[in-house]
Amino acid sequence: MSHSTPKTKESLPRDEILRLAKIIWDYHHLNQKLEKADAIFVLGSSDTRVAERAAELYLEGWAPLVIFSGGVGRTTKDMEHFSAGEANVFAEVAVKMSVPKENIILENKSTNTGENIIFTRRLLARLGIHVKKMIVVQKPYMERRAYATLKKQWPDVEVVVTSPDISFENYPNESRPMDYVINAIVADVQRIKVYPEKGFQIPQEIPDEVWDAYEKLVKAGYDRLLIKKE
């Protein structure tokens, strides 16, 4: 009987791990210029700084409507605070920052990015609301994937994607330590590569430098959130 040899993790100095992660972090940012829009479309998560960013944009006058989308997803299913849904929690943050309730729409059934888009489209259709341009707000390292997904799933709407203005070094916090962030940004590179084949996203170019950083970090053990091969 033959036994497969388990893969060994390749040890990297901490400063090299952070350097490689920063390459990927920068790749995930699109740095798109804000434009006035019909609505601010906020993709739910456990990071309420995304809701704060959306509220700031509304209060600055970038759009007259805020749509919070998100039920209980993979990262929030075990968090009691999010039991009512990510959209509800985000809306509470926005209202506390003086966004009027009447200018907020909630979609609180979706569990992933694809459902955020599908369920929100259905909800707006039922409400008779037509949007031509949206500002999409997401976590910093998910800008590119959010854009690619929207261009595929909602192609008739013009989108500009933005996120909380937080540096790679300052983004980790108590609930999101640095090693979790690195696992997350590595996993999103994998999704950017494989999701177009599944019809979830438009293709995005991945520069050699980014793919090299991805492969080195995977070999170093940052593979916890990767999609497992079928």
Strands (E), 57-132: 66-69, 104-107
Fold observed for domain 14-219: Rossmann fold (3.40.50)
User: For residues 61 and 150, is the Cβ–Cβ distance under 8 A?
Assistant: no
Q: What is the pTM of this model?
A: 0.91
User: For residues 200 and 114, is the Cβ–Cβ distance under 8 A?
Assistant: yes
**pLDDT tens string 177-210:** 999 999 999 999 999 999 999 999 999 999 999 9
Distance of CA 229 to the CA centre of its chain: 22
**pLDDT tens string 46-103:** 899 999 999 999 999 999 999 999 887 666 555 556 557 789 999 999 999 999 999 9
**pLDDT tens string 132-173:** 999 999 999 999 999 999 999 999 999 999 999 999 999 999
**Phi, psi torsion values for 118, nearest 5 degrees:** -60, -50
